[in-house]
Amino acid sequence: MWKKIILVCVLLLLPVLTRAASPTVTGDTSFQYEAIGKLNALYTVRPAVVMGRIINGSLSILGVVALLIIVYAGFNWMTAMGDKAKVQKSIHMIIWSTAGLVLIFTAYVVVRFMFEIVGK
């Protein structure tokens, strides 16, 4: 069961992680200029940009995991068939994953605020 869940998560996240969007579909025409700029040997990415991408990516993955836990808990609640222990477990999963989502969004806001301050 867990192998199937992990497989579905990987297949759903793969396009997001690889950013598999065609520039012609997204309307981005600056991709050619960025590619030419990267041919320059002096082209470097600032460490703050790299850290921002890593932090934003990890917070995005955590948010997706928390939402998947909420969906899983809701499914367990619907299929509990009157079993009070399963219902209570599902309710606790929903409460704690919602608290986790609030914490993730708060961390995202703090990180964005800090990078706004550092970026100036």
* CA 51/CA 47 separation, integer angstroms: 6
3-state secondary structure of 42: coil
Judged against a pLDDT cut of 80, whether residue 82 lies above it is answered with yes
pLDDT tens sequence across 29-74:
555 556 665 665 556 677 777 888 888 889 889 999 999 999 999 9
The owner of tokens 């867990």 is 2
Helix/strand/coil for 80? coil
Which structure tokens are listed for 51? Answer: 């850290």
Q: Count the Cβ atoms, other than its own, within 10 Å of residue 104.
A: 19
Q: Answer whether residue 12 shows pLDDT above 80.
A: no
The pLDDT assigned to 17 comes to: 64
Q: Residue 109: is its pLDDT beyond 70?
A: yes
Residue 118: pLDDT band (50, 70, 90) is confident
Alpha-helical runs (H) found in 39-83: 47-78
Structural domain spans, the chain:
46-120
Kindly state the helix (H) or strand (E) to which residue 12 belongs, with its residue range: helix 2-18
Q: Which residue has the higher pLDDT, 45 or 111?
A: 111
* Cα→Cα distances 82→11, 73, 75, 79, Å: 33, 15, 13, 8
pLDDT mean over 80-87: 93
Cα 60 to Cα 83: distance, rounded to the nearest angstrom:
34
Q: Side chain identity at 1, as an amino acid letter?
A: M
pLDDT at 38: 61
**Which residues are CB-contacts of 96 (< 8 A; sequence separation ≥ 6)?**
none
Q: What are the tens digits of pLDDT across the range 87-105?
A: 999 999 999 999 999 999 9
